[in-house]
Amino acid sequence: MKKKIVPIIILITISLAMNSVDILAQSYSKAFSDSLLTLSKKFYNEGLFKEAVEVYKEVNSDKLSAEELYYLGLSYGNLRATIKASQYLAKAVELTPDQNGYRLQLARLLSQLGKTNEALANYNVIVRNDSNNVTALYELGLIDFDRKEYGKAIQMFDKLYKLNGNDFLSSYYLGYAMLMSPDPNAAELATKHLEHSVAINPEYIPAISLLASNKFSLQKYYDANVLYSMARKLRPENADFHFKSGLCYERLKLYREAANFYTNAVLLDTNDANYFDHLGFVHFNLGNYDSAVTAYTKAAALDDNPTYFVNLGFAYAKMDSVKRSIESFHNALKLMQLNKIGYIYNQIAAVHYSKNNLKESKKNYEKALIYNPGNIDAQFYIAMINEKLKDWRNASLAYKKVIELAADDSSQLERINYSKKRIKELKRR
């Protein structure tokens, strides 16, 4: 009887021993995993991302917990190994689909990888789980804004603004989206949101610059300049902010102040032709024609824009430098679009006319008419030149042409009356 009992006892003992080993192994495995996670977190928090990754070098990723996968994903992300990072984060989300924090990091990486639709799907899951998750709402708003879906962007950022009125970034993007929206009623409200953003954070350059541009477009030049002044204090090396202040003063016809800011702009950036062109313009209006010539010459050297040569031609004309003036206009002709060529010949003719070079003037006015047969100015001056040259018949014909061209233009009434008077006088000759 005893002989039969002994084997059974032995089997039970062996079975209990094996179970104990399994329990010990599981306990040991969990303790080992916890220690790896603690070490990985420590490295991660110290910014030692390579070391954080190395901790799991010999571990099968299928055996890792969601938290371990999450920190591995974060570490790889900080090493700019974004594809691998997204893979680990995706596994973490798969294991714990209700963990919004994990999903949020995954969505951000997916967005960086250009997988916008997948990112959107994850952000939308987060918002379904937590309708007031400000980070997910903000990221959704940015995606809508980037896709130029401004209506959707406005909804997102408006919700964020209502959740937190001190969120200057949401106010900035809300105002920006409203400015870009086709809704004409959104513009006024857009300005208020941009003003709110700047009031909360007066050091956020994008909001300051956008609001300044908005004020400028509304012809509120003093307000715009105050904002550009704020921007200049924050970024004194930024040539464009000096230039924009110059533009404000130019529009206010305060040319001397404008010249100072344009000068600062060209000193900070010597390669922007537009800066030199505007500097030339204000010097021209101040009567500093030699300075205007210098600025326009620099603009023309940087960019073969025909306008710069036209402006240079005007400046030389004011300096009584006829030859250089006409040379500049001819340089403009080489670059000018066909429909603008008549205008240039008008200017060349005007320079000759001012110096009483009547035949040359007439020749260029006639060229202007070739490119623009409806050019009333050219026709009128041809009539006067013919009269000065005592070519009575052609003068009379030219005045008749002026009346014909100007018949439907009420602004030309004075010339029409003058032409009629001259025709009567010429009949007596």
Q: Considering its fold, how many domains does the chain have in total? A: 2
CA distances from 399 to 152, 326, 360 (A): 62, 27, 20
Residues 117 and 148 in one domain: no
List alpha helices for 46-62, DSSP H: 49-54
Residues 97 and 174 in one domain: no
The whole-number pLDDT of residue 13 equals 41
**What is residue 166's three-state secondary structure?**
coil
* Residue at a domain's end among 201, 222, 254: 201
The whole-number pLDDT of residue 62 equals 87
The whole-number pLDDT of residue 87 equals 96
Residues 124 and 151 in one domain: no
Asked whether 89 and 105 are in contact (CB, 8 A), the reply is yes
Q: Note whether residue 153 is domain-resident.
A: yes
Q: Note whether residue 215 is domain-resident.
A: no
Residues 32 and 47 in one domain: yes
Q: Note whether residue 421 is domain-resident.
A: no
Asked whether 232 and 209 are in contact (CB, 8 A), the reply is no
The whole-number pLDDT of residue 10 equals 41
Q: Note whether residue 321 is domain-resident.
A: no
Domain coverage including residue 167: 136-201
Residues 42 and 123 in one domain: yes
The whole-number pLDDT of residue 16 equals 38
Q: Note whether residue 66 is domain-resident.
A: yes
Q: CA-to-CA distance for 108 and 364, rounded, in angstroms?
A: 65
- Angle at the Cα of 198 (from 192 to 204), degrees rounded to 5? 140
* Residue at a domain's end among 176, 201, 226: 201
Q: CA-to-CA distance for 324 and 312, rounded, in angstroms?
A: 9
Q: CA-to-CA distance for 362 and 387, rounded, in angstroms?
A: 11
Residues 39 and 100 in one domain: yes
Q: How many Cα atoms occupy the beta-carbon half-sphere of 205 within 13 Å?
A: 9
Residues 85 and 166 in one domain: no
Q: Note whether residue 141 is domain-resident.
A: yes
Q: Note whether residue 58 is domain-resident.
A: yes
Written as six digits, the tokens of 250 are: 């130019």
Q: Note whether residue 142 is domain-resident.
A: yes
Q: How many Cα atoms occupy the beta-carbon half-sphere of 245 within 13 Å?
A: 23
Asked whether 422 and 387 are in contact (CB, 8 A), the reply is yes
Residue with tokens 């890792």: 64
Written as six digits, the tokens of 190 are: 């857009």
Q: Residue 80 maps to which CATH number? A: 1.25.40.10
Residues 96 and 79 in one domain: yes
* Residue at a domain's end among 81, 101, 130: 130
φ/ψ (deg, to 5) at 29: -65, -45
Residues 53 and 88 in one domain: yes
The whole-number pLDDT of residue 31 equals 54
Asked whether 350 and 331 are in contact (CB, 8 A), the reply is no
Q: What is the pLDDT along the chain (429 residues), one digit of tens a residue?
A: 444 544 444 444 434 334 433 433 344 355 556 788 898 899 999 999 999 999 988 888 888 999 999 999 999 999 999 999 999 999 999 999 999 999 999 999 999 999 999 999 999 999 999 999 999 999 999 999 999 999 999 999 999 999 999 999 999 999 999 999 998 888 889 999 999 999 999 999 999 999 999 999 999 999 999 999 999 999 999 999 999 999 999 999 999 999 999 999 999 999 999 999 999 999 999 999 999 999 999 999 999 999 999 999 999 999 999 999 999 999 999 999 888 899 999 999 999 999 999 999 999 999 999 999 999 999 999 999 999 999 999 999 999 999 999 998 999 999 999 999 999 999 887
The whole-number pLDDT of residue 9 equals 43
Residues 125 and 143 in one domain: no
pTM metric for this prediction: 0.80
The whole-number pLDDT of residue 282 equals 98
